[in-house]
Amino acid sequence: MPGVSIEHGQRPLESGVRTDFRDAMSYGSYLRLDLVLGAQQPLSTHHDELLFIVQHQTSELWLKLMLHELRSARDLLDADQLSWSLKRLARVKRILETMTEQWAVLATMTPSEYGEFRTILGPSSGFQSHQYRAVEFLLGNKNADMLAVFESDPPAWETLHTLLEEPSLYDAFLRLLARRGYPVPKPILDRDVRRAWVEDPELIPVFEGVYDDPAAAWDVYEACEDLVDLEDAFQFWRFRHLKTVQRMIGTQPGTGGSSGVPFLRRALDLTFFPELYSVRARIGG
């Protein structure tokens, strides 16, 4: 370019690029990178411990965003804003896809490499992630016994206790259907929301009506499929977690006291929206 000298391999700063941030917000200060990048404090000198820490801290950040989106999605259902709620769920699905892909990075760590520093973890374990439990509570997989794990962490305990007492995303969706005129049985609407959701056969005919005539209420039909997409994405994440753990520790118990792989495998049998799967046996028959 005439009048511009570019040395090989360099790109000169444009004249408008700001370089003085002594009295202005910078990228690093806005993102609090001093805290974020200073939060990785390996307890050993082993090379791969940093990978282990970054993997789990990154997952916790995604879980934080997932909770933000799921709470909003539930509130929007309560406000009869179904389309906006589905927008939030679409983002949650993408978060889950990203978290699932992340396991491939951790899977580059061999059992021998993990064994070099595993003992320093003591009884700490991903089992103790209160944000993961909060996501499960929001999706309907509630377990009051889990609160005992967080008695030494009052803010985490309070978060879970609050979500235990509040309706789940599925509860909010079923209440929206009832307001729309769908025959959701009253005992379901009045159920104790502190209990984990279990399949109710009386709800299946409600969804059968939705699937028999999608055009009658396309947004409801779309919401049903989006919830199935969400559960599929969550199960893929669970499965990839299981396979990564199996690859790294085999049949050893988890550091937090669980049975390890068998415990994770049992989680694959849990379902958030069982009627949306069961209704498929009645479609097109």
User: Where is the binding site for heme, in residues?
Assistant: 241
Annotated binding-site residue numbers for substrate: 52-56, 114, 118, 255
For CA atoms 200, 185, 280, 139, give the dihedral sign. negative
Q: Measured between alpha carbons, how far is residue 246 from residues 23, 237, 251, 267, 270 in Å?
A: 51, 14, 7, 14, 19
Q: Measured between alpha carbons, how far is residue 171 from residues 189, 208, 233 in Å?
A: 8, 18, 20
Annotated binding-site residue numbers: 52-56, 114, 118, 241, 255
Beta-carbon count within 10 A of 232 CB: 13
Question: How many CA atoms lie less than 13 Å away from 150 in the CB half-sphere?
Answer: 23
Of 24, 106, 99, 42, the closest CA to residue 65 belongs to 99
Of 161, 139, 136, the closest CA to residue 148 belongs to 161
SS3 state at 251: coil
